Each structure stands twice: as C-alpha cells, then as structure tokens.
Homo-oligomer: A and B are copies of this chain.
Amino acid sequence: MSEPSRRPRLQLILPYSQPRGALYQGGSTDGPKETRLPNYDMVAPLLADVAWDLHPGPIGPHGPGGVETREEFAIVGVQRLPIVREACESGRYDAIVMLGGGDPGFQEGREIGRRYGIPVTACANAQMHIATMLGNKFSIIDISETHNMSAYYLVVQYRFTAQCASIRNIDFPLPRPGFIDDRPLAAEQPKLQRGETSPMLEAAVTEAVAAIEEDGAEVIMLGCSAAFWLRPHLQQRLAAMGWDVPVLEGYSAAIAQAKLLTGLGVAASGLALPVDRPKKWRRKKTF
C-alpha cells in the first residue's frame, strides 16, 4: 500500500472584512482561525485532514453595510484578486477556497489560479455542482431580493438554468445604512441558540417546502453566507416533516470541491480560461 499523500494545503479567503463598527460582521475578526471562520464546527470534519489558513478578505470600501448589489459584488470581487494571486505566488497552497455567497471575483480568481495549476473554488459554484450530483433539480434559499438576483445571474453564468428549480427569498437582507431592520439578520442565529424560534429559519422551512412541492426542487442550497448557519437546522426540520432532501451550504461544498480537485490534480481547462497569449488557439468556439 502506498504512503498517504501529503495533506493538501488550503487557503480559505473570507469574502470581505468589515471595518470596526460595521453593521454586519460575518464572523469574529480576532482570535484563532477556528474562531474567525463562521460556523467552524460545520466544516471541522472536512478540515481535519487538510492544512489550512484563513485570510480575512479585503476591507470593502462599500461602507458599513453588506454586499448585495451587482456594483458592490464587482468591487469586492476585484479587491479579492490580489489576495488570490499572492496565495498562488506564495507556493504555500494546493487550492484556494473563496468563501462567501455570490462568489465575488471567482471567475477571475480561477483564471489566476489556473496559471499556477492551483484550483480555486467558491461557495455558490461548488454547491450547484454538488447539488446536481444528488438530485434532478435544486432550489436556492437566499436572503433578499437583491441577493437573489445575484444568485440568479450566477446560475445563468454557470449554466445551471436547466437544473435550478427556483431561487426563493426569505427576506432577511443584510444591514444597510439608512435602513432600520425590524428583525435584524444578525439576531437570528443567536435566537435559535437560545432555544427561541427563529423567524429566519421558519421562513427558510416555508420556502424550502414550497420549492419542493411547487418548483420541483430535490436538493436545497443556501445563497448568502449569512444564511449558511441554517443548514443543519433546515435539514433536520425537513427530515422531520418526511422530506428526504439534502440541504447544502457553501463552506463545506467549496472545501470539499477543493479537496476533490486537489486529489485529482486538476485546476481548470486552459481553454476555458486562457492566458493572454496561449500557445494554441482555436479558430472557432460554439455553445
């Protein structure tokens, strides 16, 4: 029997770090990486046999709110690219995991990583690929009208329109200066942890059931990383109702996909993401 291969080394990158005092904090900004990685316990088993680092992501210029519009996603996406390049150039990683919903900078990050032979994964992309391994159609549960449309364009871009049954909105938008939220998103997970009812979870259950019964979903995935904590709870609730439907979240999906690609030694096709002067070029491309 051959020797166990070296443990793969992953660079995890958070979507963006908020300045102090921001309305929305994706996780703790201090302490060990396990503390700074939101919902670490959900992914701990997947990280147990890898070496990993956690980058806090860029400090967004978008102010104290979250990232929801296309403009905000584009800006943050571009800001993440130097982090990806630096990780590739460091020689310290076998794969890069771009955490966060909406996949800001993912395609450009993959383009960079591929030049180094390093696979790059992202949370929405990974979930969609894995969802289609499990069922005929999947639905996305996401937090707000604007974020849902970001998910919509990702489904188009990744060419999963035929497999996506629907995108369902639970209407818990990210905080935004100038708006006061009756039911702030950030209060929901603590409620559940205190044993209280979380309206956010209730909305997710309602929309997941509607996705199953009305839209044809056979797998559920989550859109915004601020909703990833729902996964085990939503899974348990659906199971209790008799619905045998896998529920995915983005961190575990993106990490698992990074491990798969590392295991196979593949990053991405050079034809899909060509360098600026490739050795070979094609006369035509078709769809």
What residues of chain A have their CB less than 8 Å away from a CB belonging to chain B? Answer: 1-5, 34, 44-49, 65, 68-71, 74-75, 77-78, 81, 105, 107-108, 111-112, 129-130, 132-136, 144-146, 148-149, 152-153, 155-157, 159, 161-169, 171, 173, 176, 179, 207, 210-213, 215-216, 218-219, 241-246, 248, 252-253, 256-257, 259-261, 263-264, 266-287
A283 CB, min distance to chain B CBs, angstroms: 6
A271 and B168 in contact (CB under 8 A), knowing A210-B284, A246-B266?
no
| Contact status B159-A49, CB under 8 Å | no
Q: What B residues does A168 contact at CB under 8 A?
A: 283-284
Q: What B residues does A161 contact at CB under 8 A?
A: 287
Q: What B residues does A34 contact at CB under 8 A?
A: 1
Q: What B residues does A264 contact at CB under 8 A?
A: 46, 130, 248, 252-253, 256
Give the residue name and chain of the B residue nearest to A84 (CB). B71
How many angstroms from the CA of A2 to the CA of B32 in the assembled complex? 14
Looking at A210, A213, A269, the one whose CB has the most chain B CB atoms below 10 A away is A269
| Contact status B75-A152, CB under 8 Å | no
A214 CB, min distance to chain B CBs, angstroms: 8
Q: What B residues does A163 contact at CB under 8 A?
A: 159
Give the residue name and chain of the B residue nearest to A145 (CB). B281
Q: What B residues does A212 contact at CB under 8 A?
A: 271, 282
A274 and B1 in contact (CB under 8 A), knowing A157-B153, A256-B264, A259-B263?
no
- Report which of B144, B166, B248 forms a contact with A286, defined as CB distance below 8 A: B166
Q: What B residues does A171 contact at CB under 8 A?
A: 281
Q: What B residues does A135 contact at CB under 8 A?
A: 268-269, 271-272
